[in-house]
Structures are given as structure tokens and as C-alpha cells.
Amino acid sequence: MVKKRKNKDIFQFILLTGIVVLLNIISSLEFFRIDLTSEKRYSLSDATIDLLESYDDIIYVKIYLEGDFPSGFQRLQRETEQMLGEFRAYNRQIEYEFIDPNGAEDEKVNQELSQQLQFKGLRPYRLQINEGGGNRVMNIFPGAIMSYGDKEVAVPLLVDQLGSSPENQINTSVQNLEFALANGIKQLVLKRKPLVGFLEGHGELEPLTYLADFARTLAENYNINRFNIRKFRSDSTGEQLSISDQLRRINRFDAIIVAKPRRAFNNLDKYLLDQFIMGGGKVLWLLDAVHAEMDSLSKSAQFISYPVIDQLGLSDMLFRYGARVNTNLVQDMIAAGVSDQRNVYPWVYFPMVMPQVKHPITKDLNAIKLEFASTIDTIIAPGVKKTPLLLSSPYSKTVGTPHMVNLGTLYQKQEEKRYTQKYFSLAMLLEGEFESAFKNRLLPKEDGTENLPLKEKSSFTQMLVVGDGDIIKNQLNIVNPNLPRGTPLPLGFDQFTGTQYGNKDFLMNTIDYMLDETGLISIRSRELKIRLLDFNKLKEGKLNWQLLNTLLPIAVIIIFGLLFNYLRRRQYAAK
């Protein structure tokens, strides 16, 4: 009897061992992971997995989130390490380490590292830490430097949001981790870069000055070039090329940015842009419908703003595509600040837009600063989807133009009862199949005998219309003595108030949404449920939780001991 039981135990052991070995062999041949969370918190998107499987060389990641941090940053550190672990599960070529940027004993070494990180593109944050009854201030760099071969890219991991609590910023940053890290890898391994052009020929903003920071950031993921639609190249014989050749030149671009034009578009300009769109090209229309410039206030305390959109000659095109930029100015009580060198005052002509629309482009963005913005209406255009991306606050209104803009309003207390309108559209995304603006119209004349081609309907494409050309304009340094005067500053940074706005992220997200073939931008739509403790309930039931955590384990051990002794006595008593 004993021998039979022994043989049975040996057989069960061998069978169990065989099953374990077989499962290991199967798992080594086919990789899989099981995520039991309701929101699939630990599942990477298909776009990220495809990206991780697209390269076969080492990507080295240095994360500067090591040190004596508050609990929020410690959580961001843990989540970052966990996310990189998920990445390594799909590609073992990812290697990473966490570094304390303030860990050297020699303070000079820490300062040199700080300068290097800022030069590479990581922004420092000043952190106050309570220590020994006093406060200690330290610079931290919540970000990573990724390297792949001879390429290197900076990846900020902390999402900065105006008016948001530190806890919410950490939560948002955790939700954004997959996109931030995957987008950094994409910048390193991307082989084909789409071509983005800055349109010239109508007094647009100068790419080397007022567009410099956005162009520099754009160049990390895209090829960029300037395209003067008015200049026709000459061939080797010195003869000017035809309109058809100019159309072929513009069609090389995947997207065109029209940044605050100030001179009229003629029929030929519009034909070339229209046919570019009909061929599937993307366009960002960043337009001032009203002439209103802050420079005017340097000469006088007031100036007259007046409509200019009709002079540009673009209204008929945009009308056909499904949008109209109105000749008004938006006044908003939720406004960006203007400094008079003594104080900073919110100015109603500078709407500070807090993104409210649920869309991959605007999700978790910082506030966006607009200057003298105009509203946008939608027009019926079959087959075109319109999505308002930027909206004014619930406390806004519009004024018609011509309108006297007076700097004195900066010091006037604004009454809420005068701002009874809300949610004006300030930026509109148009998507679909557009009808040509030249359908059933006369075309520009070709100099030769050949007739110009006309495509009357586009394939699926997209465009963005913004009622403010200054949304893409960076400031030039006149305040910081450590920088040469006239140096382009980061887009969205206001040197007079020291505030960083989300203009650059908004425009970069738009370009990514339109041109990113990897589909990474879709990750930004994911919602991860951050399950936080209710601190009010925790405070009220503090004693109950302390007693429960202290006494329950002891009670369980005592009950288990009594039950074990009872069963043991019963078993041996029966024998």
C-alpha cells in the first residue's frame, strides 16, 4: 500500500514537472502577456509594439529621476521604470539607467551636468523640499535622454499644465508616458521623414526669426523647407518653368504651413494651393482676419484694429472647404497676462485657451496663448468633418471691427455680467474629401498652349484653420542678459511674464496627427484610470484603519492556530 502511494506520488511529480517544462518551451516559442486590468493599463498599443519591433540596434535611455524626491516624482519614477520594462518585454535592445542629476559630491560637477541637460533640451524644474524645519531648493530634470547610434533626443516626462495641481500633473504625466517614450524612439529610428513646407510670397512670418523655434522642433521628426509660391525656377537654358512644373514642385510637400500672411493671394497662388489639397496635401492656415499688432502700442496707448481677411483673398477658398474666419476680435476674461514692468495683468484681447475638446491633438495640453484672435464659423461642405479644437472660455464675447483697442482696458476691472457668451471656435480641424475651389470656375492661364489640369475633388485629407496667425510666432529675446538680443525664444514662452504656454505642443500634435504614419498619436486618446485615495475619508476613518491593519493580522493568526490545533486533535483522536 505504501509502495503504491509512493509510486503514485513520483508519477504526479514527474507529470507536473513535464507540464511546467512543456509550458516553458511553448512560452519561449510564442511571446504573450496577460493584462487583467479593466483599462488595459499594462498593455502597449499596437502602434508602440510595431515601433519596438522595427529596429535591431541598442537604444540607451538615461532617465534623470533618481534622488530624494517627493512622493509624486517617486511615483513617476516607478511608472517610468515599469513602462520601460514593458518596452523591453518586446525588444531586449532597450537598455536604461536612472541617474541623480544632483548626486555628485562636487557641486561644480552637478552644475556642468545641469548645463549639458539644458543644452540637450531638458527643462529644469525648481523643487522646494522641506528639510529639518527649513526649505531646500533643488533643480530637477524629469526627463530622459535617448541615444541610438549617433542620434540623441531629449524626452520630457513631466507634462506642464497651467493652473493644475502637482498631483494632477503627475497623473497626466503617468498617462502620457507611453506616448512620450515611444515618440522619442520614433524620432531616433524613423527612416523616412515627411516634407513640411513654410509658404512664402505673401509677407508670412520669417522662418529664421519668428518661426525659428517651431522649425527647429519640427526638424527633429520631419524634413522642412521654405517654398515661395511666387518664385518660378528656371531650367538650364534660363527659361522660366511652367505653372505645371510649379504644381509638381509644391506637390513634393506632405504639408504646407501658411503662417500669418499679410499680402493678397492671386488666382494662380490659390490654384496651386487648391490643387495641392486636391492631391491629398495637408495645410495649416494660421490667419489674422483683423489687423491688430502689439507693436502699435509702442507708439500710442491705443490703435484701431480693422478687418484684412478679405484683402488676403482666401475667404472663397476656405468657404468652399467648410470654414469662415470672421472679422471680429474675441475678448475673454480667462486671459494671458501682460506685464507693465511692475505687475502682470490679464488682458481680455489675449485669450488663454484651456483645451476642452477630447481629441488626440489637444489631450492634456498646457494652456494656449492667442493674441487678437477671431472666431471661426463652419459652412456646409458635404463629406467634410469639422472639429473645433480650441474654444473660448464660458466668460467671453466678441467685438466687431473696426474697433479701438485701448491699453487702458488692461487696468480696468472686468465685470462678469458683460461676458455672457461662451465657447467660440478659435481653431477648426477639417477632415474629409474636399471640393475644389476652382470647380466651375475659370482657371489661371498657362503661357503655352497646354491647358492646366484640374482635380475637382480631393482624396481624404486634413487642414487646420486658426483665427490667429501669432499662435506660431516665438518671441525674440530682449529681456535675458545671458542671451544675445534678438535670439529666438521657445515657442509659447512669454519672456515678460515668465510663463510657458502650450502653443508648440498644439501645433506639433496637429502635424503628427496629420502626417504620422506610425499611429502613435492615437495613444494620446487612451484614458488610464488613476485610482487615488480619498484623503477626507482616510482622515475621518484613520483610527479604524489603524486598528484594522494592526489587529486583523493578529486575529487571523490566532484563528488559524486554533483551527489547526482543533483539526489536528480531531484527526489523531479518530485514530
Phi-psi region of 26 (alpha: psi -120 to 50; beta: other; left: phi over 0): alpha
Q: What's residue 560's pLDDT?
A: 82
- Could you say which DSSP state residue 68 is in? S
Q: What's residue 471's pLDDT?
A: 97
User: Which helix (H) or strand (E) is 404 found in, with range?
Assistant: strand 403-406
The three three-digit cell numbers of residue 66, written as one number: 533618481
CA distances from 460 to 272, 278, 372, 455 (A): 18, 9, 32, 13
CA distances from 182 to 53, 186, 197 (A): 12, 6, 25
Report the Cα–Cα distance between both ends of the chain, in Å, rounded: 18
Please, where are the H alpha helices in 282-397? 309-312, 315-321
Residues in the chain: 575
Nearest to 512 by CA among 218, 156, 256: 218
Q: What is the pLDDT along the chain (575 residues), one digit of tens a residue?
A: 555 656 666 777 787 788 877 777 766 555 455 555 555 556 788 888 888 888 888 999 999 988 877 778 888 889 999 899 989 988 888 999 999 888 888 888 888 888 888 888 888 887 776 665 666 777 788 899 999 988 899 999 888 777 667 778 888 888 889 989 998 998 888 888 899 999 999 999 998 999 999 999 999 889 999 999 988 766 555 555 678 889 999 999 999 999 999 999 999 999 999 999 999 999 999 999 999 998 888 888 899 999 999 999 999 999 999 999 999 999 999 999 998 878 889 999 999 999 888 899 998 889 999 999 999 999 999 999 999 999 999 999 999 999 999 988 988 888 989 999 999 999 999 999 999 999 988 887 655 545 788 999 999 999 999 999 999 999 999 999 988 999 999 999 999 998 999 999 999 999 999 998 777 887 776 655 555 555 566 666 777 778 788 888 888 888 888 887 888 777 776 55
Distance CA 133, CA 112 (A): 30
Q: What's residue 34's pLDDT?
A: 59
Report phi then psi at 556, rounded to 5.
Answer: -60, -45
Q: What's residue 330's pLDDT?
A: 97
The three three-digit cell numbers of residue 465, written as one number: 484653420
Longest dimension (CA), the chain: 114
pTM of the model: 0.80
Q: What's residue 486's pLDDT?
A: 93
Residue 502: count of CB within 10 angstroms of its CB:
25
Q: What's residue 449's pLDDT?
A: 46
